[in-house]
Amino acid sequence: MTGTVKSSRSQTYAAYLFAHFTGTEGRPTDEQVYFALSRDGVHWTDMRNDGDPALVSTVGERGVRDPFLIRAHDGSRIYLLATDLSIYHRGGWKNGGAKTNGSTDIVIWETTDLVHWSEPRLVDVASGIPGVCFAWAPEACWDEERGRYIVYWATGSHEDNVNGDYQNMYYATTEDFVTFTDPVKWIDRDSYCIDTTMIHADDGWWYRASGDGQITIERTRNPYATSLAPNARLETGDGVDSWAYVGSLASIFGDERLSGGYLEGPELFRLNDSDVRVVDGRAMRYGLMCDQYRLGLGYLPFRSASLASADRADWDAAADVDLGALKKRHGGILPITEAEYRAAMEAFSR
């Protein structure tokens, strides 16, 4: 049995597409979009060699990081969102001003078949934020109840900030990835919050994992609820109209090397039914990838039977996952059909 998407065009998922960048920042090709494919979520095949990206940004800063994939709610197309940033073209992190005068745009591609992609376009999501410094790490979720997409990203602002570090998360909504509402501050904590990933799980709850000094896991019934307390643990609501703290990767596994000091770029995704592993009697239905940026080792994968649980037994360190030879930095994973898998393999493999 394979996973099935709930949309007006029901499709059966049999594989995955991973969009990522390589992030060494020494060449203009490092901060572009690379693809990898997998039939089982365990064994990944790189579509391109190092230095040969699948998609190249010719707009804005002429480089992209943090690519994220989302399928349209009606199944008609797939969108790819990315950070408009090139550390290479800026001359490095220290001298390039990326954290003070970065782009307020995100870069968007779209495709109907994973083979033919639109030209990249810029969408300004963050210029309305007072004192805005940048817009990084965009992701999106479809809100079935309200009929719109929630798009969220990290922005730095010393003016629009309350609790400590100036890097916080914001969201806007859109129905078409062309017109966006005004940004709303979503997370403001005393530690930096530089990226968040969110999923609407099978139990009806929304879950998110944030790089905020930890990899903090929370849940809610209302994804628009704001978290403006200094620390996630201070959120006292029950999750009905607030975000409720579940735990952190470090607390769940009892390992401080799984904190935000070592990991960033968390990415939640639902495993296809045929790829769900049963570990000690618990079905691991969700994947969570985290970028080991401090160690420069690419992604560290996990599985979870219940995102609502901080019980170690509901989590698995997915040591069997082989991500391939190419280092993968802060990307997104999308379940795809068998036909899409074959098309992408033929179009992009080298």
**pLDDT of 28-51, one tens digit each?**
999 999 999 999 999 999 999 999
For position 177, what pLDDT does the model report? Answer: 98
What mean pLDDT is predicted for residues 155-160?
Answer: 96
Q: How far apart are CA 207 and CA 225, in angstroms?
A: 12
Residue 90 has pLDDT above 70, yes or no: yes
For position 9, what pLDDT does the model report? Answer: 40
Residue 2 has pLDDT above 50, yes or no: no
For position 236, what pLDDT does the model report? Answer: 66
What mean pLDDT is predicted for residues 8-29?
Answer: 85
- Hey, what amino acid is at 258? L
For position 183, what pLDDT does the model report? Answer: 98
pLDDT category of residue 5 using cuts at 50, 70 and 90: very low
CATH 2.115.10 fits 15-348, yes or no: yes
Q: What is the pLDDT of residues 105-156, one digit of tens each?
A: 999 999 999 999 999 999 999 999 999 999 999 999 999 999 999 999 999 9
pLDDT category of residue 1 using cuts at 50, 70 and 90: very low
Own/partner pairs, 154-159, CB within 8 angstroms, 24+ separation: 154/193, 154/194, 154/195, 154/196, 155/126, 155/129, 155/183, 156/99, 156/100, 156/102, 156/132, 157/129, 157/130, 157/131, 157/132, 157/133, 158/131, 158/133, 159/130, 159/131
Residue 320 corresponds to which tokens in the numbers above?
A: 């069997």
How do strand 299-304 and strand 286-291 relate by DSSP bridges? antiparallel
HEC per residue, 94-159: CCCCCCCCCCCEEEEEEECCCCCECCCEEEECCCCCCCEEEEEEEEEEEECCCCEEEEEEEEEECC
Residue 158 has pLDDT above 60, yes or no: yes
Instruction: Give bridge partners of residue 167 from the DSSP assignment.
Output: 156
DSSP 275: G
For position 4, what pLDDT does the model report? Answer: 36
Q: What is the pLDDT of residues 286-329, one digit of tens each?
A: 999 999 988 888 899 999 999 999 999 999 999 999 999 999 99
CB 31 within 8 A of CB 84: no
For position 298, what pLDDT does the model report? Answer: 84
Residue 168 has pLDDT above 90, yes or no: yes
For position 349, what pLDDT does the model report? Answer: 87
pTM, to two decimals:
0.94
Total Cβ atoms within 10 A of residue 310: 14
Residue 82 has pLDDT above 70, yes or no: yes
Average pLDDT, the chain: 93
How do strand 132-143 and strand 206-211 relate by DSSP bridges? unpaired
pLDDT category of residue 6 using cuts at 50, 70 and 90: very low
Helix (H) or strand (E) holding 269: strand 264-270
For position 107, what pLDDT does the model report? Answer: 98
Question: Strands across the sheet with 244-248, in order?
Answer: 195-200, 206-211, 215-220, 244-248
Torsion of CA 74, 78, 84, 89, to 10 degrees: -170
Q: How far apart are CA 321 and CA 234, in angstroms?
A: 35
DSSP 178: S
CB 163 within 8 A of CB 188: yes
